[in-house]
Amino acid sequence: MTRPIVVTGGGTGGHIFPMQAIAESLRAQGVEPGNLRYVGSRRGQEGVLLGGGVIPLTLLSGRGIRRSTQPAALVANVGAVVGLLVGVLRAIALVGVWRPRAVVSVGGYASFPVSLAAVLWRRPLILVDLDATPPATHRLLTRFAVRRCVAYGNATATTVVTGAPVRADIAAIDRSTTARTAARDAVGATGRRVIVVMTGSLGAASVNRAVVALAQLWASRDDLTLVHVTGRRDEAWVRASMPDLQGLDYRVESFADMSQWWRCADLAVCRAGATTVAELTTVGVPAVLVPLPHAPGDHQGANARALVAAGAAVLVPDDQVSGAALADALTPLLDDQVLARMSAASRALARPDAADQIARVVLEVAR
């Protein structure tokens, strides 16, 4: 059996898409699909987003710990711990059979079993820290890693500053005026500004409520297309809450091909996770950012403030987000000169070669 390179992580798109990006770059640098493996969680989006491809996918039991002392959360956490232990035992068995050349972790609860198994079997472990603050799993495992690839920070003997990886289809997007016009024509948004709302594969209820209210405020605007990617949890009630529209082109999707919408977008409304920020800066889409409150180390707030300081984004705190707040933030940005200035500032922050750099580190270790 060929000893594979294992890429592990997942739970949400913010971890799954970097897994894809790293695997794509490894393949581009000569690694055959059969020499790669994805490992994620049964409860995440991995089965949908990574399953059925040429790279084998293994799904383990386990789920994230809820940060709450409510009785229901405590009961759920007991189940999470049991599932995690089962996942760890299976991961130990699998890593013992595979004897991987390297294990690459992008973080998230789904990454812990295989990363721990790599440590126990003394297989090379590479951590990819997407945010300024490492996730809990990586903080536990940092001292066992042979390399860290970080989006932010300083280089050391074992740490390489790479930026956060984005998928090849995102990095290849043409955002020239001609290409953007053609993209808008292709989706039936000819002659309109396109605003894309995307808050992750699960969605953000506070932002989703605010966007429904924004659609009501802008119901008569015939110069805008508002694309609302709700996430899988909220699509049903968002559709049920859609206002009567007199001119606004308001589109609701639970999940979307973001390479299509980033081609069209003039503006975005997003959370400020590392993968989202990496995609926004790679394609140069100006944004209104609503960071996830209470994120560990306030990493989303830090990500958002970096874009705001560069002139690439506007920040609206989650506890202040509403239809009116979004309208106030977005309206001044719907100007050609403002958009061009913000887009240039966003692109200046991009690290489009991040996935390739990470792949080179992985191959150096694996060899």
Mean pLDDT of 227-249: 94
**What pLDDT, on the 0 to 100 scale, is given for residue 367?**
87
Mean pLDDT of 143-154: 93
**What pLDDT, on the 0 to 100 scale, is given for residue 234?**
94
pLDDT band at 70; cut points 50, 70, 90: low
pLDDT band at 92; cut points 50, 70, 90: very high
pLDDT band at 135; cut points 50, 70, 90: confident
DSSP string, 232-288: TTTHHHHHHTPPP-SS-EEEEESS--HHHHHHH-SEEEE---HHHHHHHHHHT--EE
Predicted confidence (pLDDT) at residue 109 exceeds the cutoff of 90: no
The rounded distance, in Å, linking the Cα atoms of 327 and 342 is: 18
**What pLDDT, on the 0 to 100 scale, is given for residue 52?**
86
The rounded distance, in Å, linking the Cα atoms of 13 and 273 is: 10
pTM: 0.86
Q: What's the mean pLDDT when you consider all of the chain?
A: 92
DSSP string, 87-121: HHHHHHHHHHHH--SEEEE--SGGGHHHHHHHHHT
Closest by Cα among 7, 16, 121, 98 to 362 = 7
**What pLDDT, on the 0 to 100 scale, is given for residue 204?**
94
pLDDT band at 10; cut points 50, 70, 90: confident
Domains and their CATH numbers in the chain: 5-166+352-366 (3.40.50.2000), 169-347 (3.40.50.2000)
